Amino acid sequence: MAYIGKTPQVGNYQKCDALNASATADYTLQVGSSNVSPESVNHMIVSLNGVIQSPTTAYTVSGAVLSFASALTSNDTIDFVILLGNVLDIGTPSDDTVSTAKIQDDAVTSDKLGTGDMTFPNGDLIFGTAGKGVCLGVTSNTDANTLDDYEEGSWTPTMTFGGNAVSLTYGTQSGYYTKIGRAVTISCHIFLTDKGSSTGHLNIAGLPFTPASLNYNPVSLRFQNLSFANMATAIVGNSTTTVIFYETSDAGTETSLTDGNAADDTRILFQGTYETT
């Protein structure tokens, strides 16, 4: 582009905060009390005792530290230090010189991110608003393809008989879960040392999420010192946070497991997956 008169200079001109000379050669450069690093020793003007100093010969710079060729004294005066920034003649910044502060908010759009794979060298991908997720297998924001819920954690299973847990004593009482979308995978380990005095249907309560009102969800079981004549089954109840235990006969008849099937040293382990609302 042609200009009338002298071509205008382009640069990030800054005057550094005042420096007080003392018995040292090194001084930290700051603008507004924040450290600043010149582009190079040739991108700054330094005046000492009323004389503009020669770069490299009279002083050098490393990061934000200005170093004079020899130590000053309190009788010296550092008049000013001016940083020229990157004096541009074609409007192209030097490599590794554009800071976050130089980029406008919302200036980087998806058009600037390219079409290839994206790698995050450090840290996690975190959304600024709750309820957002990753759309998988689609090219637009489709609710059915959006993974917007993942959680891992523990839960505390509680054995009950007839809905009560009077005087139960546990040797082990632990549970873990993983929730992906609406699917919750649970595991549980309960070991009783005293089954207490409650009576009635055997349940385990305390599931981390309420199941949906759909079909009952079976779980995989292991028992120790839990007596029954036929096959024991367990299901996650509809819209309740409990696992319900049954004994199923060869004819398919279901009978509730109760306190009478349990002992003081009963152990129950199970795992399964159910769906939430």
| Domain 153-275 top-level CATH class | mainly beta
3-state SS class at 110 = helix
Measured in whole angstroms, how far is the alpha carbon of residue 170 from the centre of its chain?
Answer: 35
Residue 21: its pLDDT value, please?
95
| pTM across the whole model | 0.59
Q: What average pLDDT score do residues 239-265 get? A: 85
Instruction: Count Cα atoms within 13 angstroms, Cβ side, for 191.
Output: 3
For residue 63, is pLDDT > 60? yes
| 157 pLDDT more than 90 | yes
Structure confidence at residue 215 (pLDDT): 56
Rounded to the nearest angstrom, the gap between the alpha carbon of residue 54 and the centroid of all alpha carbons in its chain is 50
Q: Which of 216, 185, 214 is nearest to 277 (CA)?
A: 214
Pairwise CA distance, residues 61 & 79, whole Å: 17
- Sheet with 26-28, side-by-side order of all strands: 26-28, 65-68, 59-62
pLDDT band (50, 70, 90) for residue 158: very high
- Report domain extents, the chain: 1-102, 153-275
Strand order in the sheet with 51-52: 14-15, 78-83, 44-48, 51-52
